[in-house]
Amino acid sequence: MKIIARWQSKSEEETRKWGEKLAKDFLRPGDLVIVAGELGVGKTQLVKGIAKGLGIKEEVKSPSFSLVHEYRKEGFTFYHLDFYRLEKEEEVVDLGWEEYREDEKGIVVVEWGDKFPFLFSPPFFLVHLRYREEDTRDIEVYYDSCSG
């Protein structure tokens, strides 16, 4: 796993900007992004930015209760998942996870995806957000290209 970007954000707007940049610089149909970080650190803000960077006009809201939101676009489908409420890997399977992952035109972003590390086989991006002070967050982006 190699680190490909290291950013600092001082506001939710800035976190969205970084999400936008992440999408524009790196993401292509077929990609998977795991978004990790403590409760309320700004994962959903980052995903809102990713969606904007992908050209999605609809408002992106946290799928904490519905578990997945799907945005069909010309050439790709954006899937926004949130595993916060899930406790077992079987629940992820029930959610239809395989189907999203196997969509070659899917761009899949999973909040709290790091809860089930064995579920994911590379390649994937891992974004880690960390509290620094007040509204400041450290954001690290990793890319895992193959197993091992």
Ligand X SMILES: Nc1ncnc2c1ncn2[C@@H]1O[C@H](COP(=O)(O)OP(=O)(O)OP(=O)(O)O)[C@@H](O)[C@H]1O
Structure token digits, residue 111: 């909040």
| DSSP conformation letters of 47-69 | HHHHHHHTT--SPP---TTTSEE
Q: Which residues in 77-106 contact ligand X (CB under 6 A)?
A: 84
| Stretch 107-126 residues interacting with Mg ion (CB under 5 A) | 111
Token pair 């930015």: residue:
49
69 binds ligand X (CB under 6 A): no
Please identify, using beta-carbon distances, which residue of 42 and 106 lies nearer to Mg ion.
42
Please tell me whether the peptide bond between 122 and the residue prior to it is cis, using omega within 30 degrees of 0.
Answer: no
Minimum CB distance to ligand X smaller for 11 or for 121: 11
Closest distance to ligand X from the beta carbon of 75 (Å): 27
Cα–Cα dist 63/120, whole Å: 20
CA dihedral 85, 113, 97, 18 (to 10 degrees): 110
Q: Is 138 in the site for ligand X (CB under 6 A)?
A: no
Q: Are 122 and 31 in contact (CB under 8 A)?
A: no
Q: Which of 62, 89, 114, 122 binds Mg ion (CB under 5 A)?
A: 62
Among 41, 67, 107, 110, binds ligand X (CB under 6 A): 41
Nearer to ligand X, 7 or 98 (CB): 7
Judged by the rule CB under 6 A, the positions of this chain that interact with ligand X are 9-12, 14-15, 37, 39-45, 62, 84, 111, 135, 137
